[in-house]
Structure 1
Amino acid sequence: MIGLLHVHHIAIICQDYAVSKRFYTEVLGLEIIREVHRVERQSWKLDLALQGQYVIELFSFPEPPPRPNRPEAAGLRHLAFAVSDLDATVHGLAAHGVASEPIRVDEFTDRRFTFIQDPDGLPLEFYEA
């Protein structure tokens, strides 16, 4: 056994730092832990928390390549957040101009879920707990 404890964080590279920072902090409500401008790399690094737990590193780099294609591209498929009230989540997202896909039901758990895209097209799932 190699001794894994838990997922420490998820790193996301964005195209437009200001737009993504606003999306993750103002729309999704993640808390800023620290924000660092790394001059030598022409890059911003924003550490974000959810209910006090460090979860996302948001990076900017000059001209990053685009994501290959939707959730079926090789690599990270999507990032999922548990929510207590999916209807309220969808309504709150819509109030910020964020469209969600139609709500679906997980055929194995009977739980409801939906997807949105972040400003760079990264699929984000909201799964009703």
Structure 2
Amino acid sequence: MKIHHIAIICSNYEVSKKFYTEVLGLNIIREVYREERQSHKLDLAIGEHYVIELFSFPNPPERPSRPEACGLRHLAFAVENVEEKRNELIHKGLVCEEIRIDEFTDRKFFFTQDPDKLPLEFYEI
């Protein structure tokens, strides 16, 4: 029917929480700490749409390589204006790749990364 959410495990909960809420502007739906698992769980939304479950666990392994590691390659966000979003993120201190054009759709996009080096794409719709 549709994708319900994407789960991300972070290495530093407070850093990633700040990144996803203050830098990217996602809204907090619910935040819990599960003592038995020593794990934070943060449910995040874009507007009213639940999209990301952010987890922390003790000592998670690092991502093997970027971006061709087996598993999730990148997370893509739809934006109305790629130039504006790129400038906003650069102003907030992120390193952003140059804007490229999708050879199949002629749409603009660029990549940056989250605090754990998960590649994030911003794609103009």
Shorter-chain TM-score bucket reads over 0.9
2:120 aligned with 1:124: yes
Matched, 1:72 2:82: no
Q: CA deviation at 1:109?
A: 0.6
SS in 1 for 2:3: coil
- Map 1:1-129 → 2, pairs under 5 A: 5-129=1-125
Q: RMSD across aligned C-alpha pairs, in angstroms?
A: 0.5
The list of structure 1 runs, each at least 4 consecutive aligned residues, that deviate by more than 4 angstroms after superposition, is: none
TM-score (norm 2): 0.99
Structure 1's unaligned 5+ residue stretches are none
1:60 partner amino acid: S
**Identical residues among aligned pairs (%):** 67
Structure 1 residue matching 2:15: 3-state secondary structure: helix
The AA in structure 1 aligned to 2:40 is W
Post-superposition offset of 1:21: 0.2
Opposite residue 120 of structure 2, the aligned amino acid is L
SS of alignment partner, residue 112 of structure 2: strand
Segments of 5+ residues of structure 2 without an aligned counterpart are none
Shift of 1:95: 1.4
Q: Secondary structure at the match of 1:11?
A: strand
Cα offsets for 1:83-108 (capped at 9, x unmatched): 00111101110111011011110011
Residue 75 of structure 1 deviates from its aligned partner by 0.6
Q: Given the two structures, how large is their TM-score scaled by the length of structure 1?
A: 0.96
1:115 and 1:36 map into 2 onto residues whose CA distance is 30
Residue 51 of structure 1 deviates from its aligned partner by 1.2
Q: Distance in 1 between matches of 2:92 and 2:14?
A: 16
Kindly tell me the number of residue pairs found equivalent between the two proteins.
125
Name the CA distance, whole Å, in 2 between partners of 1:104 and 1:80.
14
Structure 1 residue 25 displacement after superposition: 0.2
